[in-house]
């Protein structure tokens, strides 16, 4: 699937790629509606009916990923609520093995995430993955989500990577399409981002269930 000799830079998404999306799905689809219902004296069904189209309307925009935005919109401490159930944060299978193998290569490895800085900080604290990356790239620092060309232009201007020798691994088709439009040569989709759900079938990009399928060759 991959010719590692042609890859110099590796860009890895966080939620649903390295980390189990079960945490985020449970948080936004169950936990936030529960707390919103309690605060506003609604039934859980009523809260979900109100919140789901609101969330849907922001998909792909930076606001969707912004904890401050949702704290204001919902009058809830979203960062605080995430911390409450942070015990659910988990690394997907074989991720640490893959990152350790990458460390033995000469590749530049970046974590590239749309996650809000507060969420990113919480997840790095829980998973201890930070040392595996040359740098952590947060789209909030550029003012555009990864779904937008402006993000990719700003990111490349900052880091100077070559598109034809860059690999992007992400669970979001919208992000992979944006990376493809920008000219990123090597694209891989994670088709089982949530350990509690069945794998998603897609033929749009090469897809893997876990990182054993694209493990870099050992240099030892």
pLDDT in tens, 172-191: 999 999 999 999 999 999 99
Determine the pLDDT at residue 128.
96
CA distances from 215 to 35, 89, 134, 218 (A): 41, 24, 19, 9
User: For the residues 31-50, what does the mean pLDDT come to?
Assistant: 96
Q: Report d(CA 75, CA 66) in Å as an integer.
A: 14
How close are the terminal C-alpha atoms of the chain, in Å? 22
For the chain, what percent of residues have pLDDT higher than 70? 99
Pair 140, 192 in one domain? yes
Domain boundary among 87, 116, 143: 87
Pair 104, 165 in one domain? yes
How long a stretch of residues is the chain?
A: 220
The total domain count for the chain is 2
Determine the pLDDT at residue 218.
74
Sheet holding 108-113, edge to edge: 135-138, 108-113, 9-12, 166-170, 186-190, 207-208
Pair 8, 49 in one domain? no
The DSSP symbol for 15 reads B
Pair 210, 148 in one domain? yes
User: For the residues 91-111, what does the mean pLDDT come to?
Assistant: 96
Helix pair angle (67-74, 32-40), 10° resolution: 30
Pair 77, 106 in one domain? no
Q: Which domain holds residue 47?
A: 23-87
Pair 73, 165 in one domain? no
Determine the pLDDT at residue 61.
81
Pair 77, 186 in one domain? no
Tell me the backbone φ, ψ of residue 40, rounded to 5 degrees. -110, 15
In this structure, how many other beta carbons lie within 10 angstroms of the beta carbon of residue 155? 21
Pair 127, 39 in one domain? no
Domain boundary among 87, 105, 123: 87
User: For the residues 38-50, what does the mean pLDDT come to?
Assistant: 96
pLDDT in tens, 103-149: 999 999 999 999 999 999 999 999 999 999 999 999 999 999 999 99
> Which pLDDT band, with edges at 50, 70 and 90, does 220 fall under?
very low
Determine the pLDDT at residue 65.
86
Pair 164, 77 in one domain? no
Mean pLDDT taken over the chain = 94
Pair 10, 29 in one domain? no
Pair 118, 207 in one domain? yes
Determine the pLDDT at residue 219.
55
């Amino acid at each position: 699937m991959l010719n590692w000799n042609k890859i110099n830079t590796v860009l890895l998404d966080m939620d649903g790629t390295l980390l189990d999306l079960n945490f985020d799905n449970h948080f936004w689809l169950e936990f936030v509606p529960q707390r919103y219902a309690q605060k506003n004296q609604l039934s859980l069904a009523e809260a979900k009916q109100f919140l789901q189209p609101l969330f849907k309307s922001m998909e792909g925009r930076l606001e969707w990923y912004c904890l401050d935005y949702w704290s204001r919109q919902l009058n809830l401490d979203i960062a605080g609520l995430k911390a409450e159930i942070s015990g659910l944060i988990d690394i997907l299978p074989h991720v640490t093995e893959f990152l350790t193998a990458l460390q033995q290569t000469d590749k530049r490895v970046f974590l590239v995430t749309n996650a809000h800085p507060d969420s990113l900080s919480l997840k790095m604290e829980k998973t201890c993955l930070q040392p595996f990356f040359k740098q952590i790239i947060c789209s909030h620092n550029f003012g555009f989500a990864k779904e937008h060309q402006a993000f990719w232009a700003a990111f490349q201007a900052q880091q100077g990577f070559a598109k034809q020798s860059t690999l992007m691994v992400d669970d979001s088709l919208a992000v992979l399409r944006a990376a493809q439009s920008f000219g990123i040569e090597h694209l891989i989709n994670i088709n089982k981002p949530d350990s509690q759900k069945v794998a998603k079938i897609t033929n749009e990009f090469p897809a893997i269930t876990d990182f054993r399928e694209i493990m870099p060759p050992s240099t030892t």
